[in-house]
Amino acid sequence: MASMRQNILTGAEAMVRLLQAHGVTHIFGLCGDTSLPFYDALHRLDHGMTHVLTRDERHAAYMADGYARVTGRVGVCEGPSGGGATYILPGIVEANESSIPVLAITTDVSVPSAGHYPLTELDQAGLFRPLTKWNGLIDSPARLPTMVREAFRAMTTGTPGAAHLGLPFDVQKAEVSSDDIWAQEDFGSYPAWPGAPSASAVEEAVRALRDARFPVVVCGGGVVIAGAEAELQRLAERLDLIVATTISGQGSLADTHPNCLGVVGSNGGVAETRAVVEEADLVVFIGCRAGSVTTERWRFPAAGTRIVHIDSNPMAISANYRTEAAIVADARLALAAINTALDADGAEASGFAGAARVAAAKQAKFEAFDRLAGSGETPIRPERVVAALNEVLPDDAVVVADPGTPCPYFSAFYRASRPGRHFISNRAHGALGYALPAAMGVQMGRPDATVAAVMGDGSFGFAAGEFETIVRLDLPITFVVFSNAVYGWIKAGQKAGFGERYFSVDFSRTDHAAVAAAYGLKTWRVEDPEALTATLRQAVAHDGPALVDVISQPLHEARAPVSEWIA
């Protein structure tokens, strides 16, 4: 009997061991009544995982998202039933729509109590079903190991995405055989088991490139997710191609690479980059959905432009443009196959003169930017903040930008000198309050890197409670706040499209430096543009968490790279 008991775990213990078996190193979450058995198992067992206690379940999910983006591993967050399950949703939606594998474990009321009005009961399976790639409520301890493995398999194969597991209280306390505790280790990282392209599809894509007069490549987040940067650079350089990106695709090539045009589209694109896309007779979308922002509502490229589309999700291809050549495959494997085909045909480089066209567009773009970035106006122009961070941040830096003021400016003008994940913004749904917690996940996933989080004061108000977590963990993140006392994106939209009828968008100015200092951060407040660069340099050099509160120009008065406002 004793030996039989040694082969028995509780459901909570089984969950801990299965996460451990899948290579999980960090769990971000917040405690609750229904989570007590799970927390007790985490406390008692020797598993090597770090649990990060957060102050809000939303932020736990955003931390897991940031962690997953920079590590290539599954991010894990957890929360209790009821309010915890509803609070964790925004981060899961963002991760899923951004093709980032984040697992949300929400504990739940006991299975027999369902339908009897227990405190915090809700239909978790129904709640998460439309918002995740995979979703399940573990209503039986015997199903627990299989369902955990299914979740990891779903998150990391094909097009990655988020998953949810509901873990009822009684299942956590029930018995599970240790014989079923195993994992396919491949599914702890992504993309797992990437799909290769068909030879005929590669032939069609190469033929389209050879027939083109002025091709332009547009890279989405799928290039960085697949780790396809080296193959992309090889292709761009051998054919002298123009490579543009979406915001999520930044890092496909280094921003400073001669063939990298930069971000295109209505958010972060400018007239000079749009003109390049307009000239294209062939557009190659790679790991990109060709959505409304990237194409400025499907105007650039125009309907009828020849299209090659590479994506791991066949539903993304031909959704918006008729496609001449479609490659349903992992971006890295697809680009490698195209390069191999070009090697085999022995032809010389096509000489598309992409680098020369990129240089001309960038020169015009940054001449306009540099004039504004050198301005001594007050409040401080956003361009000056971007230019200062370009100067003081090291090559290894990762910048996490919230929507609102930071996103268009940094996507357009921040210049990372390395390929890969060095700029992150939550572009799927654009919820405020992302940058602060996501930067925490980034710092824990990439502890040797310099991490900066830039946000508006609206986003600051969403997430300020996590400054306690940051100080408790002593995370050396530099935070920059654009302080202008307004929900700037909406006010700019009211100016551009609604006759300057401003309604319910302005709020009182907060002393963000004082708030952060009360939590224990080293802080500065900057109103003089001449003091900005030196102050940011001090903040980045500080060996703990730091915040710079910049009194800045509001978006509706600025010249942000957002096409609908400039027009």
- pLDDT by residue for the chain (567 residues), tens only, comes to 344 467 899 999 999 999 999 999 999 999 999 999 999 999 999 999 999 999 999 999 999 999 999 999 999 999 999 999 999 999 999 999 999 999 999 999 999 998 999 989 999 999 999 999 999 999 999 999 999 999 999 999 999 999 999 999 999 999 999 999 999 999 999 999 999 999 999 999 999 999 999 999 999 999 999 999 999 999 999 999 999 999 999 999 999 999 999 999 999 999 999 999 999 999 999 999 999 999 999 999 999 999 999 999 999 999 999 999 999 999 999 999 999 999 998 755 567 999 999 999 999 999 999 999 999 999 999 999 999 999 999 999 999 999 989 999 999 999 999 999 999 999 999 999 999 999 999 999 999 999 999 999 999 999 999 999 999 999 999 999 999 999 999 999 999 999 999 999 999 999 999 999 999 999 999 999 999 999 999 999 999 999 999 999 999 999 999 998 886
What is the residue type of 135?
N
Domain end call among 330, 357, 384: 357
Q: Which residue has the tokens 């959505």?
A: 291
423-425 β-sheet, strand order: 423-425, 398-401, 451-456, 478-483, 546-551, 522-526
In a domain, 366, yes or no: no
- In this structure, are 259 and 143 located in the same domain? no
Strands 8-10 and 175-177: antiparallel
- Compute CA distances 236 → 240, 241, 339, 418, 427, whole Å: 5, 5, 10, 16, 26
Domain end call among 168, 188, 208: 188
- The residues, any chain, with a CB within 8 Å of residue 547's CB and separated by 6 or more, are 478, 479, 480, 481, 512, 513, 516, 521, 522, 523, 524, 539
In a domain, 180, yes or no: yes
- In this structure, are 403 and 450 located in the same domain? yes
Pinpoint the alpha helices (H) of 240-381: 271-279, 331-345, 354-373
- 251: domain CATH number is 3.40.50.1220
| Three-class DSSP category at 192 | strand
Q: What is the DSSP string of 102-161?
A: EEEEEEE--GGGTTS--TT---HHHHHGGGSSEEEE--SGGGHHHHHHHHHHHHHBSS--
- In this structure, are 437 and 506 located in the same domain? yes
Q: 524-533: per-residue pLDDT in tens? A: 999 999 999 9
Based on DSSP, count helices (H) and strands (E) in the chain, helices before strands: 23, 20
In a domain, 363, yes or no: no
HEC profile for 459-472? HHHHHHHHHHHHHH
- In this structure, are 476 and 353 located in the same domain? no
- In this structure, are 177 and 117 located in the same domain? yes
- Compute CA distances 117 → 48, 121, 250, 272, 359, whole Å: 38, 7, 48, 60, 65
- The residues, any chain, with a CB within 8 Å of residue 557's CB and separated by 6 or more, are none
In a domain, 369, yes or no: no
- pTM score > 0.95 for this model? yes
* Residue 468 structural domain: 374-566
In a domain, 9, yes or no: yes
- 407: domain CATH number is 3.40.50.970
Residue of 60, 87, 56, 82 whose CA lies nearest to 168: 82
Report CA Rg, the chain.
24
- In this structure, are 302 and 239 located in the same domain? yes
In a domain, 364, yes or no: no
Give how many domains the chain has, as a whole number.
Answer: 3
Q: Report the distance separating Cα 386 and Cα 400, nearest Å.
A: 13
Domain end call among 188, 221, 251: 188
Residue of 383, 427, 438, 399 whose CA lies nearest to 559: 383
- In this structure, are 307 and 446 located in the same domain? no
- In this structure, are 334 and 433 located in the same domain? no
In a domain, 365, yes or no: no
- In this structure, are 388 and 342 located in the same domain? no
In a domain, 193, yes or no: no
User: Phi and psi dihedrals of 102, rounded to 5?
Assistant: -125, 130
- In this structure, are 37 and 83 located in the same domain? yes
- In this structure, are 499 and 523 located in the same domain? yes
For residues 160 and 190, the answer to whether their CB atoms sit within 8 Å is yes
Half-sphere exposure of residue 535, counting CA atoms within 13 Å on the CB side?
21
Within 10 angstroms of residue 222's Cβ, the number of other Cβ atoms is 30
3-state helix, strand, coil in the chain (%, to 5): 45, 20, 35
- In this structure, are 131 and 11 located in the same domain? yes
- The residues, any chain, with a CB within 8 Å of residue 127's CB and separated by 6 or more, are 85, 86, 89
